[in-house]
A and B are shown apart, each in its own frame.
Chain A
Amino acid sequence: MVHCYKLNGYNIVLDTCSGSVHSVDEVAYDIIEMYKTHSAEEITEFVLDKYKDQPDVTADEVKECLNDVAELEKQGKLYSEDVYENLAIDFKNNSNVVKAMCLHVAHTCNLNCSYCFASQGKYQGDRALMSFEVGKQAFDFLIANSGTRKNLEVDFFGGEPLMNWEVVKQLVEYARSVEKQHNKNFRFTLTTNGVLLDDEIIDYLNKEMCNVVLSLDGRQSIHDHFRKYYNGKGSYEDIVPKFQRLVEKRGGKDYYMRGTFTHNNVDFTEDIFHMADLGFKELSMEPVVCAPGDPYALTEADLPKLFEQYEKLAVEMIKRKKAGNGFTFYHYMIDLTEGPCIYKRITGCGSGTEYMAVTPWGELYPCHQFVGDPKYSLGDVWKGVTNKAAQDEFRSCNAYARPECKDCWAKLYCSGGCAANSYHATGKISGVYEYGCELFKKRMECAVMIKVAEADQ
């Protein structure tokens, strides 16, 4: 399967199953599009007629290009066959390893953001803080179920995890004290709204967390519209200087400024540029997760505008990089040469199997987005996974699980998509969140275009 598209002056051909990317001229673009459905004579006739005003497009040239296409097909770099479906099923069935946890250390928050998917950190339940004992058991559960995997990831999440800071530190210290004896390497992430950051916390985070995710929605008016204290005051003025201090002291370690955009700011690139202008260089901006009827939900009418925004972002990123003031955007950080293997590309995010969320009470859920939904309660950190039927549902999620994905060129980039998005959009995890697919495909087109542009320089 090939996907041909034009963007920012480039003609790009993606060969889905080999992962090959080709940057081609107009003639080759037409030839590749027609190659599988037309004879060589038909293609030659069409091309010679279409480009009759271009003296370099001769019958010999067309023949040479047809030969090049045939050679690429022979090398497995064009029209390559999809031979991976059974790998996805076998790989997930044969793996019982847990390697990552989203640890909900605080089901409470000091902000009252009305768009919060976690209902102000409570996840439709009671406010709670995780105790050290529950957290320790979660680490023991992870170590015991991680098989031979060395790299284990734990994200301190909430609500607002800094509201349970002492327990976060105790858990990091516990994990560090046992990782060597179990031949593990813990990688910690903490996601925060920034309100409680101070120098002591910043220094500790910069020492222990391999990544921090800092919530900022961009321009002050946009950020403060949702990200408010309980008294109604916006949080922008308080948190931006703290985030700047954290990043300044971070010494080059990973971080993400992570924003959410809604129907209220479909011009979200302005918010990304604002973050970049504040001095932040590792940026992420995600579409809001909410019910379709919510006033800030993205609409069908927003979609073409969002496409424009993603393209504008990609073009601006190329320009800024050339000017020496570039920044990264999470979804455009595609790594064509050192990126994921085919197993990663077909087996999905691992929610419910190798990745789980743990509540303050030690319950296990497939991921943070399912927390509080009794149907998807998997078990707990003492007994492990007891709801095998629910886990099997997640085990069956992969790039081939949904018939709608069969002919989609992007399936090896999204691996079938987010189960939570599918569930919220269709009522089942095996459904397809089409709106999300459209955004994802546009992001991938832009990400690959940036790579093509870089190769062109």
Chain B
Amino acid sequence: MSRIKTIETRDMNKSVKTGGCGECQTSCQSACKTSCGVANQKCENANK
């Protein structure tokens, strides 16, 4: 694909089966306290 470079990302569809453990940080507990962003939270599921 000479004109398209795909960046490596987590497969969202696959995570339907492997995700949902809930061990990750609650988004508002980190720094913002005023807005909801979930994309910058780290996954803590060892079995993903």
Instruction: State which of B3, B13, B25, B29 has its C-beta within 8 Å of the C-beta of A28.
Output: B3
Chain B proximity of A429: nearest CB distance (Å): 12
A99-113 interface bits toward B, Cβ cutoff 8 Å, 1 = contact, 0 = none = 110100000000000
Chain B, residue nearest A341 (CB):
B19
- A351: chain B residues within 8 A (beta carbon): 28
- A187: chain B residues within 8 A (beta carbon): 25
- Could you tell me the dominant secondary structure of chain B's interface residues? loop
B5–A455 touching, CB < 8 Å: yes
Confirm or deny: A286 has a beta carbon within 8 angstroms of a beta carbon on chain B.
yes
Alpha-carbon separation in the docked complex, A21 to B39 (Å): 13
B4–A418 touching, CB < 8 Å: no
Q: Which of A121-129, A167-175, A231-239, A329-337 lines the interface with chain B?
A: A329-337
B7-48 interface bits toward A, Cβ cutoff 8 Å, 1 = contact, 0 = none = 111111101101110111111111111111111111111001
Instruction: State which of A27, A189, A341 has its C-beta within 8 Å of the C-beta of B20.
Output: A341
Confirm or deny: A287 has a beta carbon within 8 angstroms of a beta carbon on chain B.
yes
Instruction: State which of B9, B28, B31, B40 has its C-beta within 8 Å of the C-beta of A258.
Output: B31
Which size bracket describes the interface of B in this complex?
35 or more
Question: Given A19-B11, A28-B4, are A149 and B34 neighbors across the interface (CB < 8 Å)?
Answer: no
Which size bracket describes the interface of A in this complex?
35 or more
- A417: chain B residues within 8 A (beta carbon): 35-36
A344–B19 touching, CB < 8 Å: yes
Alpha-carbon separation in the docked complex, A256 to B48 (Å): 28
Confirm or deny: A223 has a beta carbon within 8 angstroms of a beta carbon on chain B.
no
Question: Given A343-B19, A343-B20, A345-B12, are A440 and B35 neighbors across the interface (CB < 8 Å)?
Answer: yes
B: which residues have CB within 8 A of A? 1-13, 15-16, 18-20, 22-45, 48
**13 extra interface residue pairs, beta carbon distance < 8 Å, beyond A28-B4, A256-B30:** A19-B10, A22-B5, A23-B7, A100-B26, A153-B29, A213-B31, A258-B32, A258-B33, A335-B40, A337-B9, A355-B29, A368-B28, A414-B38
A: which residues have CB within 8 A of B? 17-25, 27-28, 61, 64-65, 68-69, 71-72, 76-77, 80, 83-84, 87, 91, 95, 97, 99-100, 102, 117, 149-151, 153, 155, 187, 189, 191, 211, 213, 256, 258, 284, 286-287, 289, 330-345, 348-351, 354-355, 367-369, 412-421, 436, 440, 443-444, 447, 451-452, 455
Shortest 4 CB-CB contacts between residues of A and residues of B: A341-B19, A341-B15, A100-B26, A28-B3
- 5 A-B residue pairs with CB within 8 Å: A27-B3, A95-B22, A258-B31, A286-B34, A447-B40
